[in-house]
Amino acid sequence: MGMNEQDLHSTRAPATWVVAQDRVDYEDAVAAMHARVAAIYDGTASECVWLLEHPPLFTAGVSAKPNDLRAPDMFPVYKSERGGEYTYHGPGQRVAYLMLDLRTRGRDLRAFVRDVEQWVIDTLAAFNVKGERREGRVGVWVDRTRPGGPLREDKIAAIGIRVRRWVSFHGVSINVEPELDHFGGIVPCGISDQGLGVTSLVDLGLPITMDDFDMAMLDAYHKIFGPTVPTSAHRP
């Protein structure tokens, strides 16, 4: 049986901050998240933030439409229990999986997603990139419309959250330096409108190292979600 909510408020430890040094297979990542989520719920493990990169692959969230998979043989395709539609993961993209206990954070999924969006926005601001929300479109966007020109808004971060017994998992993927051509195998996150695309920090002219980006993520995380403790482990 899990701990009661009062106990959780009084005993919550700083979240463990884990950074994988090697690429992590998607199925291995999901299995590790499931195990950690169960332990968090039972009170036998602290919350966890896991930063990693995947090998090239596509995932289909619970709202994915079959026709949005344009090139099914391009990369492995995995069904995912996260929210959202199709997305791409691959080298040069920072994936951050959030295993946080929402029993101690208000039990408000909508507010939690907004906090995750704000985390990404604040991280991008450290590099003078203005990330923005868009009504009806989950994720973080960059307005690239030129004065007098047609609309152009590019997605720089995708968000797909799953909650089990009020413990979150899955999370966000932020394009630092992935191969943007790889997104052509899908309609990413259902984006098919003219003027909407995908971008990255390098595409915006910012050749930022993953280590520098991780430091900005850590600083922004502390301001929104609270303290962390580093670990030498590469997995939860």
Q: Report the DSSP beta bridge partners of residue 132.
A: 141
Say which of 189, 191, 198, 204 is annotated catalytic. 189
Judge contact between 173 and 29, C-beta under 8 A: no
Per the rule left: phi > 0, alpha: psi between -120 and 50, beta: everything else, 165 is left
Dihedral sign for Cα atoms in the order 150, 145, 207, 78: negative
Cα dihedral across residues 132, 127, 87, 48: positive or negative: negative
Buried/exposed 106-129: b ≥16 CB within 10 Å, e otherwise = eeeeeebbebbbbbbbbbbeeeeb
189 included as an active-site residue: yes
Q: How far apart are CA 122 and CA 142, in angstroms?
A: 13
Catalytic residue set: 189
